[in-house]
Amino acid sequence: MAYNLIPCDREQQFLLPPTLDEWLPEDHLARFVIDVVEELDLAPFYGRRREDGWGRAAYSPKMMVALLLYAYCTGVRSSREIERRCNEDIAFRFVAANTCPDHATVARFRADHGELLAGLFVQALRLCAEAGLVRVGMVALDGKRVKADAAMSANKTRAGIEEEVRAILAEAAEIDAAEDRALGDARGDELP
């Protein structure tokens, strides 16, 4: 099986000394997201690609999933903003292996794989919980009222987390649709 994919090499050397690996500290969120994506089952994403190597080379699903996961973790929902960040933001460049998928590619990937992405994001949260980054447990109270900045609505169930992931994907789709109506094929940051 030979997939026709654009290489995703985060160890790529430059003519100048720095490598992508030197750009971010070891404990940066982008590195953690990449490590989490390495643990996810991405076989369904590869199953949609032609196995004969024909057609235009595509971005690696591993990179695209990591890019969307990192973008959504940092509050970036717009595909145009993701494209812009891949050009300007070191962490986004690191996740994208110094490539820059255009906004249409990002939006199309998210739209084509929406349900798969939702399942992966919930799976990623589970891995975060196993790594100790998220605490999952039960808190019991004796009924005493205490003034605090907390609410019952702040508690999350599995169904609530899945619904929130779907809401994030829907928000991203709405933002992209509004930007497509307003900007057409343009990125929106071009100089006049």
Return the CA Rg of the chain: 19
Question: Would you give per-residue pLDDT tens digits along the chain (192 residues)?
Answer: 678 888 888 887 765 556 778 888 898 999 999 999 998 888 888 877 767 777 778 899 999 999 999 999 899 999 999 999 999 999 999 999 999 999 999 999 999 988 888 888 888 878 777 777 665 555 445 555 656 666 666 667 778 888 888 888 889 889 989 988 988 888 777 766
Alpha-carbon distances of 161 from 43, 44, 89, 130, rounded to whole Å: 23, 22, 28, 16
Identify the pLDDT of residue 103: 94
Look-up of token digits 């997201």: 33
Spatial separation of the C-alpha atoms in residues 85 and 82, rounded to whole Å: 5
